[in-house]
Amino acid sequence: MPQPESRTPSFMMVRDRLKEQIRSAVESAQRTGALPPFEIPQFDVLRPKQAEHGDYSSNVAMVAAAAARKAGGAQSNPRAIAQAIADQIALASATSTGAGSTDAPLIGSVEIAGPGFLNIRLADGWLQAQVPAIIAAGAAFGNSDRLAGQRWQVEFVSANPTGPIHYGGARNAVLGDALAGVLQAAGANVQREYYVNDGGSQFKWFLETLYARYMNLFGHPVAIPEQGYVGEYVIGYAQLVRDDVGDALVSMDRAAALVALRPLGRAIVLADLERELGRMGVHFDNWFSEQSLYDEGLVQQSLDYLDARGELERRDGAVWFKASAYPGCDKDEVVVRSTGSPTYLAGDIAYHYDKFVRRGFDKVVNVWAVDHQGHVARMAAVMRALGMDPDRLIILLYDLVKLVRDGQEVKLSKRKGNLVTISDVVDEVGSDAMHFNLLSRGPESVIEFDLDLAVAQNNDNPVFYVQYSHARICSIFEKAAAEGVAVAGTPADTALLVHPSELALVRKILELEEQIDYAVDRLAPHNLTHFASELARTFNAFYRDCRVVDPDNVALSAARIELCRAAQTALVRVLTLLGISAPTTM
RNA sequence: GCCCCCUUAGCUCAGAGGAUAGAGCAACUGCCUUCUAAGCAGUUGGCCGCAGGUUCGAAUCCUGCAGGGGGCGCCA
């Protein structure tokens, strides 16, 4: 059978190809006089909910009817217009078959239904030909070039460097990581960045706590400051400091010791953050220091820049950013206190100046918890004040995670010390279950996560369902190899795949591209968890209906092995994007 | 008071202006001589918070209202 050798991993999405074919069919119909001349309006190609309505449907005839009527044409019945378009599509498909084309025709049939929908069914031959193409695409399957050439940054987590991250931060981590993944899949050059807030008061209180714990190790009764961190983990950090420098800080005066402690404490807490995030498979390309903005004078530089543009004002001894001049902001914001010390916003202005002006990212996504929503309009104002298009900065807000244990909500607080960390939850439910759970809902929904239930219902967790399917595929490969029927990777005639469950599986696999595109569109990857479940379910239906390993039909077995490999390709791809492992046995 | 988000099956949630609103869990009924039954098939379950509007068509867009959550600091 003809193999689509020329197809690259990023071939045009089916939906877009259909749209193109429909458009040219309309134009052909207009040329032949079947349709009156009119400007082709915006129309949709979408996936019908009902399977009987085909693989795709289009409302082109309905929206064209209005346009035709407006153009004064006699033909304005949507169903009649649909018929004219369908005729042209059928004609085009029939004539494109020959001419030595390596591409099988995409469209199998077109039907007219309801008020004038065009219901399109993909051709079996085309579907069969996609199986080797999917396998060939491998880890790149589902990629597109939609964002090719663009430099993106996703800044996420960015929890204060004062100790382990609480569970709510896990949502930020999985969301940012998955988002960065789909942006990369869409062709963008993506940097994952963690903004380290080592320049503010929280870090200062952390250092003072660390100092107190350190001194306590040597029997000196230094009290933990009132705003310090009482969690016992700081004792562990203090022991690491002692391991590193011994009693060198004990004899120093307090101020000098704190200065010396700054890089030590920073390194210790960052190592802890990195390790903890690493346990969930989340890794950053860059850890950006807030303090460095001050050390390099960038805060002053960007404030001077705003001042020169007339965006600042001195009032009541403080320096204000005139945010109220911008939409969504009802008041000005202090950037330098009357005490002379800059506010957090001053650092943030410099930080974003750095992101866009110095480092030149085309787009930046900041993943923030919803309690920072007041900061969103402010940052848009900052962008405008810096003379940049505010659309280049995208703030992705996600709502909170309510952790429930023993029927009661667990309050998360580093200060109180009854910390529930990411590691705690990874220990309890596992990284994979946590990823799936936190990524199966939209960012704006509140998640109530019952730890007891998660443990008790381990087997009912959808993530296991999906992983089980993958393990099942691997098991089939072993079985096939053991029986000497077919080895994965041997050439096969995928035209033998004609069973409805086989073709349904190919269809579902091919949907991944659109799912990734949709996630990029919305900058929210939660549709991918649902897709993963659907893909697994579709595979299981195929598994039920079609025996893969059959010594009496080696050719068919080989073709089905290839289909399994294609399914595996898609499963691994979507699980990888979600930060979930694909175990070979369970 | 002003601003933002949410409200869909008993529960947790999807739903991209399209046709008869979907999954999972829970409940009930079947299916292992079989490549993983950690699976599959089926049944039950809905004034899509309420009321208007926009249009060929609204869970989806607009307005108002109710309920829930969050934000409005010379905090970060």
Q: What is the pLDDT of residues A348-388, one digit of tens each?
A: 999 999 999 999 999 999 999 999 998 999 999 999 999 99
Q: Is A317 exposed, middle or buried (0-12, 13-18, 19+ CB in 10 A)?
A: exposed
For tokens 């993943």, the residue is A367
pLDDT of residue A455: 62
Per CA to C1' distance, which residue is closest to B26?
A: A460
Closest nucleotide (C1' vs CA) to A339 is B74
CA A476 to chain centre: 31
Strand B nucleotides, any atom under 7 Å from protein beta carbons: they are 2-7, 12-26, 34-41, 56-57, 69-76
Kindly list the domain boundaries of chain A, sorted by start residue.
Answer: 14-122, 164-191+285-446, 201-278, 461-577
pLDDT less than 70: residues of chain A: 1-11, 71-76, 96-103, 406-408, 411-418, 452-460, 488
pLDDT of residue A415: 45
Q: Is A482 exposed, middle or buried (0-12, 13-18, 19+ CB in 10 A)?
A: exposed
- The answer, yes or no, to whether ipTM is higher than 0.90 is yes
Closest nucleotide (C1' vs CA) to A397 is B5
**φ, ψ for residue A88, nearest 5 deg:** -65, -40
- pLDDT of A560-579, one tens digit each? 999 999 999 999 999 999 99
Of A558, A541, A544, give the one whose Cα is nearest residue A493: A558
pLDDT of residue A11: 54
For residue A113, say whether its CB is under 7 Å from any atom of strand B. yes
Q: Output the six-digit token pair for A454.
A: 């998660």
Helix axes A554-577, A500-522, angle to 10 degrees: 20
For residue A472, say whether its CB is under 7 Å from any atom of strand B. yes
- Whether the CB-CB separation of A160 and A273 falls below 8 Å is answered with no
Pairing of strands A393-398, A189-196: unpaired
For tokens 């988002």, the residue is A179
H or E stretch covering A151? strand A151-155
Sheet strands side by side (includes A117-122): A45-46, A56-58, A117-122, A107-113
Distance A372 CA to B70 C1' (A): 9
pLDDT of residue A197: 96
Distance A365 CA to B52 C1' (A): 38
- What single-letter amino acid sits at A108? G
DSSP 3-state helix, strand, coil percentages of chain A (rounded to 5)? 55, 15, 35
Beta bridge partners of A318: A315
Distance A49 CA to B59 C1' (A): 15
Distances (CA, A) of A495 to A160, A471, A563: 57, 26, 11
Beta bridge partners of A450: A404
Q: Which of the 8 DSSP states describes residue A493?
A: -
| Fold exhibited by the domain A164-191+285-446 | Rossmann fold (3.40.50)
pLDDT of residue A214: 97
Q: Looking at domain A14-122, which of 3.40.50.300, 3.30.360.10, 3.40.190.10, 3.30.1360.70 is its CATH number?
A: 3.30.1360.70
pLDDT of residue A425: 87
Chain A 262..321 CB hits on strand B (< 7 A):
315-318
Q: Output the six-digit token pair for A256.
A: 């000098």
Q: Looking at domain A461-577, which of 1.10.1270.20, 3.10.129.10, 3.40.50.2000, 1.10.730.10 is its CATH number?
A: 1.10.730.10
For residue A370, say whether its CB is under 7 Å from any atom of strand B. yes
